[in-house]
Copies of this chain bind each other. A is one copy, B any other.
Amino acid sequence: MDGASLSTRDLSGSQSVDRALRLLALVGREAKHGAQLVDLVEESGLNKPTARRLLLALMRAGLVEQEAQTRRYHLGEEAYVLGTLASRRHGLLELSLKSLRSLSDITMDTSFLSVRRDNYAVCLHREEGTYPVRTHALQVGNHHPLGIGAGSLAMLSSLDADDVENVLTANRKVLETQYSYYPVEQIRDDVAAARRQGYALNPGRIVAGSWGLGVAIRFPDGRIAGALSLAAIDSRMNVGRQPELVRQLRTAAERVESKLRKMFFPVKA
């Protein structure tokens, strides 16, 4: 973020809103099975009454709903509605779906769309490949610090050197605690390699035998929009096959970028 959105510095209050929205993001992360109150309390650092109160507010707004049976919290319909309304400006998934499909058709491997969210990468879509042995390391909604994972690494590598360091610094604590098997120095090397080659490779760094290749997608103005990636078992991503996969990824990314251009500079009606 850094100089993030231009305009105004903050210095401002509204921290209960901040807290509520942090909770909202946490609930979203647990898209699959819903979030438990204790976990939300834990992850957010808030205490129980506060978390509960804020969740009630989110529920009043329809952004979150609570399953009556399990008492778990899920994203609500309003979140979906807002997302639909936002897709007018941010519809990267819609623009990429076809490309992901053909990518998985051609390569037989599972393909992904990720976007940057703060200093993390979120997986927005997973398009199953047809090859019978598949890795399930990355699921929709999953978060990893930028640099961890092929698509994530592709995005990190596309930032300029300063930003890379900023991101790594911001993530230092998480990296050390939750990704201790993946030293920061390793990420720096991976970034350098990705820069040299023009694509990101994850040679089983997170789950042994589960490899990934990724390329970034840019907005017409050069900002990073997201990344496309492919995942497969190591034997399907050997040096022999890599160039072809990268070629496919690049074509797919270019197709998406051209759609983005059309979205930003539409032909006059």
Question: Does A16 have its Cβ within 8 Å of any Cβ on chain B?
Answer: yes
Q: A81-B122, A86-B28 are in contact. Are A57 and B12 (CB under 8 A)?
A: yes
Contact of A140 among B18, B80, B88 (CB under 8 A): B88
Which chain B residues border A54 with CB–CB below 8 Å? 14, 17
For A9, the closest partner residue in chain B by CB is: B56
Cross-chain contact B17 with A57 (CB below 8 angstroms): yes
Cross-chain contact B88 with A18 (CB below 8 angstroms): no
The contact size tier of chain A is 35 or more
Query: How many whole Å from A55's CB to the nearest CB in chain B?
Result: 9
Q: How many copies does the complex hold?
A: 2
Cross-chain contact B85 with A14 (CB below 8 angstroms): no
Cross-chain contact A84 with B85 (CB below 8 angstroms): no
Cross-chain contact A20 with B28 (CB below 8 angstroms): no
Q: A10-B60, A17-B17, A54-B14 are in contact. Are A24 and B118 (CB under 8 A)?
A: no
Which chain B residues border A53 with CB–CB below 8 Å? 12-14
Q: Which residues of A contact B (CB under 8 A)?
A: 5-8, 10, 12-14, 16-18, 20-22, 24-25, 28-29, 31-32, 53-54, 56-63, 65-66, 68, 71, 74-93, 115, 117-118, 122, 124-125, 140-141
